[in-house]
Structure 1
Amino acid sequence: MHATHAKRRFIVLSNRLPISISRNENGELSASQGAGGLVTALAPVLKNRGGMWIGWPGTNEEGVAAMCRSFSREAGYFLQPVSLTEAEVEGFYRGFSNEILWPLFHEFQTPCNFLPSYWEAYCTANEKFTAAAAAATTNDDFIWVHDYHLMLVAKMLKETGRTSRLGFFLHIPFPPADIFLKIPWRRQLIDALLDYDLIGFQTLRDRHNFFEAVKRIHRGAVRKGRGQVVTLTADGRTTRLGAFPISIDFGAFVQKARRVQNQQAAQEIRAAFDNRFLLFGADRLDYTKGVPQRLDALRSAFEHYPELRGKLCLIQILVPSREEVPRYRAMKEEIERLVGEINGRYSTPGWAPVHFVYRNLPHEELIAYYMASDMALVTPLRDGMNLVAKEYAACNIRETGILCLSEFAGAAMELHRHAIMVNPFDWDGVGKAIRDGVFMDAAQRRRRMRAIRAVVRRYDIFWWVDAFLEAAFSTHLEDFPQNEAAYWADLEQNQGPPWDVAPES
């Protein structure tokens, strides 16, 4: 390790802190590690190394700052909360982020609501995150900004005179230029992103779409290089663009899948369904996930292949999300209607084709469902990556499962050779894929799953982080010194820490 690395800290900025805050039975605040792809990805690599995670805690209740400080001890990295007013949350998060960027970047144009007040709130919130980062970091720190909520941070930080190295990773897709350019503030967003040293995308397709959007705004934009990372020069500025498909901690999932209690739980699930062929879907309530289309595909399978009736069951887990939004409530009602129609039409004594669960499953229970299932249906209409596909493969230690994967999931770029690929808009096609999976021979199932697991094992979360850091900062995880004594000393002074686990050998 170089001596100069001792002062380096790894700083993460994201819209939300990686915690979920709630009140217990006594009315006291409590915190637990949050769910979601970003937390799954970064929590293992932040533990016990210097730096901090800056984000909104999800509430403005009194005592949140103390709660973040307390949780930092358990998490092994320092949490720095950013305070947002309810009006800012409404305009920045529910408005600009979720009524403009989220649908448009997923190529859904109908829900977009281009209110100027949303843009103003987005700028104000980004200024608050920038101020928190400027106050808590130095020019020696490496700052990694995450996702579409915070695209303006690099530009704003540089306007304060900060010269820290800045990386940005977009977890959702980047849309084709013709769609992106519908945003009234397209130039401001592009110019702000160009102030990052490295912009990371999930796939080469996303990277290409971004470059095409830049060319439409800056006609003289030039791209040089080939491979994972290329150089972009536009408007007198040079940045790098890279493709870094996010992944999971493969080894941790395998370890949990090998636990006796989880294997017993998986056997109990199979026994509860009389050892039928089990289809499995786990999705957050969102129009991008394609759950209604999946149910229509299941109905198509039963209509076209009567031999499947009574032979298989779909276990559909739906995680509650944005229930206060009318469109999401309507979607939940539509899904419940479809489940009722399918069960009402095809159920027989002792068999119902769909088992519907509307709640957030504990992690161990989710792993048991992964292990019990014969075929995972990962069929989003559009997705940046979709870690369910990789988690399912990691937990399939017997290598007998089948992955049915949407062409429009980012994971398709890595796994398309070995998964059963489907167009989620083609109900009959997905229905046929279900039928093919039921009758696939054991040898083919094993070949496919073994190959998928090899990809996920090799390109795991540690590869993802190291690949991004190397491209953005010419450094590796081990360059951030692990020093637990220094971490707790810094924590006591309300400063940032030192963290991480070494990459799996």
Structure 2
Amino acid sequence: MSGTADRAGYRMCTQQHKDLMSRLVVVSNRTADPRKPAAGGLAVAVRESLQQTGGLWFGWSGKIREAADGTQSGQGEVHVQTAGNVTLATLDLSREDHDTYYLGYSNDVLWPVFHYRLDLANFDTRFAAGYRRVNQLFAQKLLPLLKPDDLIWVHDYQLIPLAAELRAMGCTNRIGFFLHIPMPPPLIMAAIPEHEWLMRSLFAYDLVGFQSEADLTHFSHYVESEAHAERLSPDRLRAFNRTLRVGAYPIGIDVDDFKRLADSKEGRDMFVRMRDEYSRRRLLVGVDRLDYSKGLPQRVHAFRELLTYYPENRDSATLIQIASPSREDVGAYDNLRRQMDSLCGAINGDFGELDWMPVRYIHRNVARKRLPGLFRASRVALVTPLRDGMNLVAKEFIAAQDAADPGMLVLSRFAGAAEQLKEALLVNPYDTQGTAQAIQRALTMSLDERINRHEALLNRIRKYDVHWWSSTFLQALEDCEPNEAAASGTS
């Protein structure tokens, strides 16, 4: 089946799904107006799903509420507004709830552990209590908004116990969960003091989806070894008196939409500006949040290795590294920013010329509509996280390329995208010399090889795009058998 036929088939499936299915209720930590451009991978994907089907999007408003008397209150009102065919329902959080649930447990416990960084985790018992409290609050505020036949899709690590809280309140709807970040191996997961409760909570869902087969394997091994789960079939596990369907559903992008961005006025203007400004250079590009999971210092070290061992790249190759601000009130991120400032400054001081700066380091947000032009002007993209659930930048770079003269993707084997994007140059980001060798290969690769690799990569991201992701997951959720223990809860 051709890529065009694949896309037509998935859109037909999505339309049938829209016609037949119940209302879709999406729950995530944050919401966004689906009519406006979104920056993060989760927001982009959820927006695409809801624009296809309509429905309700519930989550935190992003606002912190102070009580009139200066005390902290966790019982805020739900704010409802309409955005096209989507109803947005949001809830403010108190300062205490925000600090324990979001900054504390979500970002100081789950994020580092799920990204294999036990050394950065802070297992403060107050955080776990706040995490449970806010998930219970979300359930209390969401329940009155639900209809009996709603299909509920919960997203990401901040809301792992939400279904268990809803079940305890009598909710019998089909509920699915998708983990956007990596699932760690059993022994790393077991370092979390509440690990058994967390994994038990996942069995309150009807369907749990992961980004990659590796993540699915880690979860299966955990519940089989720690909870003595029984495998009923390749995609069904039974433990805690519940049967759970599991699967790998790698998230995608809207390829045609991103290509339209590349062909828009802003995209073309950025491409021409970069092409003209760097007419004597070959551009390498990295676009990431400033996060310790992204492997940014290792990437800069690899670029230094490239300039050291392949001197023909001096005065020739320029790395544009965009590192958007992220969680700057967390100490680990402040340390990373200082480290990046130092590393980039050192390379520019050691290798730079009056008319050539080896690294252009940008620590601010860059409008998404400008990125396709930057990607198309770049010879190489460096997507080299130490650990990543998927990484949609890799797919966006592929979509933005000129098929007649495409750039090359250097991709970490530890990104979930590596399972799909085998024709990229896969690297171990901890091996900076090996990464430098891969960059050199990308810079010197023949046109024919680049075209062949890009064609295979583009076909794959077209076939498994964001529409395939959402329709496949939601169809699997609709197909789940009603669970006999649905209303009993698991917490």
Q: Does TM, scored on the shorter chain, surpass 0.5?
A: yes
Q: CA deviation at 1:163?
A: 0.6
Once the 2 structures are TM-superposed, how far is the Cα of residue 327 of structure 1 from its aligned partner? Answer: 1.6
C-alpha contact (below 8 Å) 1:246/1:385 kept by paired residues: yes
How far, CA to CA, are the matches of 2:283 and 2:20 in structure 1?
52
Counting only pairs closer than 5 Å after superposition, residues 158-307 of structure 1 correspond to structure 2 as 158-219=167-228, 221-226=229-234, 230-259=235-264, 261-307=266-312
Corresponding position of 1:425: 430
Secondary structure at 2:97 match in 1: helix
Distance 2:117 2:99 in 1: 21
For 1:283 and 1:395, the matched residues in 2 are separated by 17
1:412 to 418, 428, 440: 418
Please tell me whether the aligned partners of residues 48 and 76 of structure 1 are also in contact (alpha carbons under 8 angstroms): no
Q: When the two structures are aligned, how many residues end up with a matched partner?
A: 456
* Mapping 1:22-421, distance limit 5 Å: 34-47=38-51, 49-60=53-64, 69=80, 72-73=82-83, 75-219=84-228, 221-226=229-234, 230-259=235-264, 261-398=266-403, 400-416=406-422, 418-421=423-426
Q: Post-superposition shift, 1:371?
A: 1.2
Q: SS of the residue aligned with 2:420?
A: helix
Query: In structure 2, what is the Cα distance between the partners aligned to 1:99 and 1:350?
Result: 43
Q: Deviations over 1:216-273 (max 9, x none)?
A: 3222x122434xxx01011321110110000111110112222355224202112112
**Letter of the structure 2 residue corresponding to residue 55 of structure 1:** G
Cα distance, 1:48 vs structure 2: 6.8
Match of 1:28 in 2: none
Alignment correspondent of 1:497: none
Structure 2 CA distance, aligned partners of 1:48 and 1:382?
31
Offset of residue 137 of structure 1: 0.3
Structure 2 gaps, min length 5: 1-14, 67-75, 481-491
Q: For structure 1, which segment, 114-123 or 75-84, has the greater mean C-alpha deviation from structure 2 after superposition?
A: 75-84
Q: Deviations over 1:110-144 (max 9, x none)?
A: 01111111110000000011112211102210000
8 Å CA contact 1:143–1:165 kept in 2: the answer is: yes
- Any conservation in 2 of the 1:60–1:83 contact (CA below 8 Å)? yes
Distance of 1:269 and 1:258 partners within structure 2: 15
Asked if 1 retains the 8 angstrom alpha-carbon contact of 2:80 and 2:90, the reply is no
1:387/1:242 CA distance change after superposition, 3 Å: same
| Aligned equivalents of 1:313, 1:205: Cα separation in 2 | 34
Tell me the amino acid that sits aligned with residue 389 of structure 2.
Answer: G
Task: Note closer, same or farther for the CA distance 1:33–1:126 as it changes in structure 2 (3 Å cut).
Answer: farther
What is the alpha-carbon distance in structure 2 between the residues aligned to residue 180 and residue 470 of structure 1?
29
| Contact 2:282/2:316 (8 A) holds in 1 | yes
> How far apart are the structure 2 equivalents of 1:319 and 1:292?
15
The SS at the match of 1:45 is helix
Residues 73-121 of structure 1 deviation map (CA, whole Å, 9 limit, x = unaligned): 3x53111012211100100111111111000011111011111111100
Local SS of the residue matching 1:80: strand
Q: CA RMSD in A?
A: 2.3
Distance 1:212 1:90, change over 3 A: same
Equivalent residue number for residue 455 of structure 2: 450
The 2-side partners of 1:233 and 1:39 are apart by 32
Deviations 1:255-301 (A, max 9, x none): 22223552242021121123411100001010000111000000011
C-alpha change, 1:442 and 1:159, in structure 2 (3 Å) is same
Corresponding residue SS for 2:28: strand
TM-score (norm: length of structure 1) = 0.86
> Which amino acid is the alignment partner of residue 421 of structure 2?
L
Question: What amino acid maps onto 1:76 in structure 2?
Answer: N
Q: Relative to structure 1, is the Cα distance of residues 61 and 122 closer, same or farther in structure 2, using a 3 angstrom cutoff?
A: closer
* Alpha-carbon distance in structure 2 between the residues aligned to 1:256 and 1:405: 23
Structure 1 segments of 4+ aligned residues over 4 angstroms from their partners: 1-7, 31-34, 65-70
Q: 1:263 touches 1:371 (CA, 8 Å); kept in 2?
A: no
Q: Which residue of 2 aligns with 1:13?
A: 27
Q: Which amino acid aligns with 1:423?
A: N
The 10-residue stretch of structure 1 (210-219 or 184-193) with the greater mean CA deviation from structure 2: 210-219
The whole-number CA distance in structure 1 between the counterparts of 2:223 and 2:77 is 43
Partner of 1:102, secondary structure, is: helix
Contact 1:280 1:370 in 2 (8 A): yes
Q: Structure 1 CA distance, aligned partners of 2:38 and 2:254?
A: 16
Relative to structure 1, is the Cα distance of residues 276 and 66 closer, same or farther in structure 2, using a 3 angstrom cutoff?
A: farther
